[in-house]
């Protein structure tokens, strides 16, 4: 029994290289986010809009948000972690270049 488990582990791929598991995770993530965001868009449309056109537009907007967020997360799953941005670069953008003090 223990020998069979060792053989199965030796035949499988390590988790970072298992494309089947990554595709399964991405398809599951995409389906859930598409469904939940479309339902949120439909609920919002029923509360705020009267016209059928604006209701469908709200559902489509919600579906687009769901697909977009699933696409972003799937790209992180396949490519690894998101790029790291240091806070010094961000603060330099908002405050301008560093100024030297004349004393």
The DSSP output letter for 80 is -
Where are the strands (E) in the chain, listed by range? none
Reference 21, options 74, 90, 86; nearest CA is 74
Q: What is the pLDDT of residues 23-54, one digit of tens each?
A: 888 899 999 999 999 999 999 999 998 999 99
The answer as to whether 76 is a domain residue is yes
Q: Residue 21: which pLDDT band, with cuts at 50, 70 and 90?
A: confident
The answer as to whether 3 is a domain residue is no
Instruction: Assess whether pLDDT exceeds 70 at residue 61.
Output: yes
Average pLDDT on 18-26 reads: 82
Token code pair at residue 92? 């330099």
How much is the pTM?
A: 0.61
Token code pair at residue 39? 């339902």
Per-residue pLDDT at 80: 73
User: What is the residue range of 74's domain?
Assistant: 21-80
The answer as to whether 31 is a domain residue is yes
């Amino acid at each position: 029994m223990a020998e069979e488990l060792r053989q199965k582990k030796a035949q499988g791929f390590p988790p970072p290289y298992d494309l089947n598991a990554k595709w399964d995770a991405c398809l599951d993530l995409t389906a859930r986010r598409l469904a939940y965001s479309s339902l949120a868009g439909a609920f919002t449309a029923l509360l705020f809009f009267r016209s059928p056109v604006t209701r469908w537009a709200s559902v489509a907007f919600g579906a687009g948000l769901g697909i977009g967020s699933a696409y972003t997360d799937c790209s992180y799953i396949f490519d690894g972690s998101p790029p790291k941005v240091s806070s010094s670069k961000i603060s330099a953008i908002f405050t301008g270049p560093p100024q030297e003090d004349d004393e």
